[in-house]
Amino acid sequence: MAETLTKNHEILEGPQAPRQSRFVQQFRLFKENRLAVVGLVIFLAFFITAVAGVVLTSGQDPVFNPSLVRLQEKLQPPLSLPNLETLKAHEVPTLGIYLLGTDDLGRDVFARMLQGAWVSLTVGFVAVGIAVIVGIFLGGLAGYYGQEGICYDQILDFLLLLSGIIFFILKWHKLGFGLFTAGIFMMILSFRARRVKQNRFMPGWLHKSAFSFDTLIMRMVDIMLCFPSFFLILTVVALLPASIYNIMIVIGLTSWMGTTRFVRAEFLSLREQDFVSAAKALGLGNFRIIFRHMMPNAVAPVLVSATIGIATAILTEAGLSFLGFGVPPPYATWGNILSDGKRFIFDAPWLTFVPGIAILIVVLCFNLFGEGLKDALNPKLRQE
């Protein structure tokens, strides 16, 4: 593609190599990692199974009925045939065989696993989605605006407003209302004082910066990391009504710290890069600089940690369900199939092994996929 256009006696230059997009290069690198490709394939299979599962097991008359009780057929081993004489027509499993056996109530474990796959998938993705959004937001703030100081008067405002709201919720209406009004009044006052250079409204030390914004967010991260997160989740879930959405939100809100640290670190190093300085010098707004110039360069490690985070979220949900704090029955999840099965571990080991191995495979494939992604997105490995 050598160009010999000339103008002003000058030869115009351009790259000689054939065009190869970043994505193609990354995919080629990814393909070289066998285990990662296996991870990706299993992940896709899991995804299709989960989506098919939710379609096939829900509705009034599902194809696979996960909650149909057949007491006469309980604890059948995998691949056993149903006894057609004792079963009514609609009770016969759709495949004509108990592919993964039946549990202590005679429910088809295959149908229950299908239903549970959707729970695992959604819990994984939604929880990690929440964690990533919170993490990117807080990490971006800490990394980009981190050096901005927080002043004593702002802390005071915040405490007044917060205590006002708390007292109000505790039904101490008068005190709460008073504190809230004082907070708003103070906010207006400090806003005025900030506009006027020579202020006589407030003492000067109130405008000194107490600590930086970065310190605030990163100490919040440290505090969150101090709690053993599984027990924090257990506590919160015990207080909240049991539902799958609460579990997603709680897992999400207790796992954003890693992403925050990643994004902050990326932003701190990107902020000093010349192309960001150039964007500032061109007069672009902060919003455009953050989302158009910095974020695309910061998402690679976030993507990797998110993939591994999905695996952790699936494990956490399974753990919660196993302990009985998870998704309420009769809805099946891999965790509560496992939990129900443990009482029959010697009589019907498939009740423990089937969901256990499924969790193992899915978590492992997410981890392998994440590792492969990390290598593929690493710019140092791209050129050869």
Partner 1 sequence: MALTDNHKNAVTLQVAGLKKYFPVHRGFFQRVAARVKAVDGVDFEIGPGKSLGLVGESGCGKSTVGRLILKLLEPDGGKIFYKGRDISHLSPREMRPLRQEIQIVFQDPYGSLNPRMTIGQSIDEGLRCVGLSKEGRKSRREELLEMVGIWPGAADRYPHEFSGGQRQRVGVARSLSVNPSLIICDEPISALDVSIQAQIINLLNDLQSRLDLSYLFISHDLNVVSYISDRVAVMYLGHIMEYADTESLFEKPLHPYTLALLSSVPKIDDTGTRGAHTPLKGDVPSPLDPPPGCKFQGRCPRVEERCRKEEIQFSRFDGDHWVRCWKASP
293 makes contact with partner 1 (CB under 8 A):
yes
Given 71, 196, 239, 282, the residue binding partner 1 (CB under 8 A): 282
- 73 neighbors 84 (Cβ within 8 angstroms): no
32 makes contact with partner 1 (CB under 8 A):
no
Which secondary structure element, helix H or strand E, spans residue 6, and what is its range? Answer: strand 6-7
d(CA 169, CA 159): 15
Angle at 350 between CA 349 and CA 356, to 5 degrees: 100
61 makes contact with partner 1 (CB under 8 A):
no
297 makes contact with partner 1 (CB under 8 A):
yes
**Least distance to partner 1, CB of residue 379, Å:** 7
Given 225, 277, 342, 345, the residue binding partner 1 (CB under 8 A): 277
27 makes contact with partner 1 (CB under 8 A):
no
Stretch that binds partner 1, among 168-176, 184-192, 281-289, 354-362 (CB under 8 A): 281-289
Which secondary structure element, helix H or strand E, spans residue 248, and what is its range? Answer: helix 244-253
What residues pair up with 209 in beta bridges, in sequence order? 151
For residues 212 to 231, the per-residue mask of contacts with partner 1, x marking binding by CB under 8 A and - elsewhere, is x-------------------
Choice between 80 and 212, CB closer to partner 1: 212
- DSSP result, 200-242: -SS-GGGGSEEEEHHHHHHHHHHHHHHS-HHHHHHHHHHHSPP
Interacting residues of 124 by C-beta distance below 8 A, sequence separation 6+: 310, 311, 313, 314, 317, 366
Choice between 235 and 277, CB closer to partner 1: 277
SS3 33: coil
Choice between 219 and 292, CB closer to partner 1: 292
**Least distance to partner 1, CB of residue 269, Å:** 11
Stretch that binds partner 1, among 8-16, 117-125, 152-160, 351-359 (CB under 8 A): 8-16
Tokens of 169: 């919720």
Given 71, 196, 226, 281, the residue binding partner 1 (CB under 8 A): 281
378 makes contact with partner 1 (CB under 8 A):
no
- 117 neighbors 49 (Cβ within 8 angstroms): yes
**Least distance to partner 1, CB of residue 372, Å:** 21
Neighbours of 327 (CB within 10 A): 22
Site residues (CB under 8 A) for partner 1? 3, 5, 7-8, 10-15, 17, 19, 21-22, 211-212, 273-275, 277-284, 292-293, 296-297, 379, 383
